[in-house]
Amino acid sequence: FMGNHFHLLCRAPRMNLGEFMRDFQSWLATKLQQHWKTTSQIFSRRYSAVDLLDDATAFDKLIYLLANPCAAALVQNPKDYPGLSSLPYHLDDQPICGRWVTQEKLTRNLKRNKDYDPELAASYHSIRLTPLPSLEPKSAEQRASTITQELAATCAALHKKRGKKGVLGARRLQRLDPKSRPKAPKFTPCPTCLSTQQAKKDAHKAHRQAVTASYYRARSHDRNPQRQGPAHYPVGTTPPGHQKCVAVAGSGTPTLRGCRGVRDPDFRDPDFTGGMTQRTGTTTTSARPSLSTWIVPLTLARPSSAW
């Protein structure tokens, strides 16, 4: 988690990353607004997701995320970063323990008793990080050693590139105005996928185009007043007017919440068999083709800048 954005390296085997990010960012924005006593919009737009199509790319992005505070010239060593980072949990192989406060319960009891202990409305949950596929065969000590060595080499290269310029430091970083922003922030286009193999990127592009075309055909059919039956959208996509994607086959009947009712999937695009394809052991599908957001088992999710 950086000052105005965060990165997640995650899998979404049920193709529900969009729903998770919707709920997580909404909760996070609400808590930040309460903490800073503001009604300002936290995230300017929907998050972006980049598909990581091979193990080498996934490991490279893991090191990139862990070295992000050094790349931004905030601290000299990633271990000195005062913000939230998964680095300690990768090195110690310990689960992440989080504290969740049921706000409704806390508010209700504080109205009855001003001395109510907030701890009574709290619950604790532990989450263990899943190793990357390339690191899974190794022991916890070997994984920590591999990450430490690669991270040290990356930070050394960043330090050499920075030259005589210093870093902000943990103390000054904590004193920064949370609403401050760089004078000239850098904006770079977000790729749809990353891979060391061109063939995988070409296959990903072709699949993306096929899912998008199928989605648009289903939408055109849905808007046709003379249609004979409801539209059937590709698996994993979110139909217009709904907040939940079409479920994966075998995972149960999808419940599509939104301004329209549930559609029966009896319209099928004859030119496309579905929104899911098997390719080198990974399943890919689209989340919302019109917004160019895509989900695969290994995805790098990054929201827009906060504030």
Question: How high is the pLDDT of residue 291?
Answer: 29
Band of the pLDDT at 36, cuts 50, 70, 90? Answer: confident
SS3 state at 181: coil
pLDDT at 251: 53
pLDDT of 283 strictly over 50: no
pLDDT given for residue 259 in this prediction: 32
Lowest mean pLDDT among 125-129, 171-175, 224-228, 254-258: 254-258
The label of the residue with tokens 């193709």 reads 15
pLDDT band at 257 (very low <50, low <70, confident <90, very high): very low
pLDDT of residue 120: 95
How many beta carbons lie within 10 A of that of residue 274, not counting itself? 18
Give 41-80 pLDDT, tens digit per residue.
888 888 889 999 999 999 999 999 999 999 988 999 999 9
- What backbone phi and psi angles, to 5 degrees, belong to 181? -150, 155
Alpha carbon 35 to chain centroid, angstroms = 23
Query: Which residue type is seen at 158?
Result: L
Q: Beta 122-127 vs 8-10: how paired, if at all?
A: unpaired
Least confident of 110-124, 175-189, 195-209, 247-261: 247-261
Q: What is the CA radius of gyration of the chain?
A: 22
Closest CA to 245 of 225, 228, 266, 265: 265
* pLDDT confidence of residue 237: 84
Helix (H) or strand (E) holding 8: strand 8-10
At 25, list the tokens: 């960012």
- Region 216-230 average pLDDT: 89
**pLDDT above 50 for 14:** yes
Residue 213 confidence (pLDDT) above 90: yes
Mean pLDDT of the chain: 80
Which residue in the block uniquely carries the two structure tokens 């085997």? 13
pLDDT value of position 88: 93
pLDDT at position 302 over 60:
no
Q: For residue 10, which phi and psi values (nearest 5 degrees)? A: -145, 170
pTM comes to 0.75
Per-residue confidence at 142, pLDDT binned at 50, 70, 90?
A: very high
Mean pLDDT of 179-208: 88
Question: Which amino acid is located at 262 in the chain?
Answer: V
| Tokens 């109510």 belong to residue | 116
Which pLDDT band, with edges at 50, 70 and 90, does 271 fall under?
A: very low
For residue 108, pLDDT over 50 is answered with yes
pLDDT for position 107: 92
Q: Which residues in 5-33 are b (16+ Cβ under 10 Å) and which e?
A: ebbbbbebeebbbbbebbeebeebbeebe
Residue 127 has pLDDT above 50, yes or no: yes
Alpha carbons 167 and 173: distance in angstroms, whole number: 10
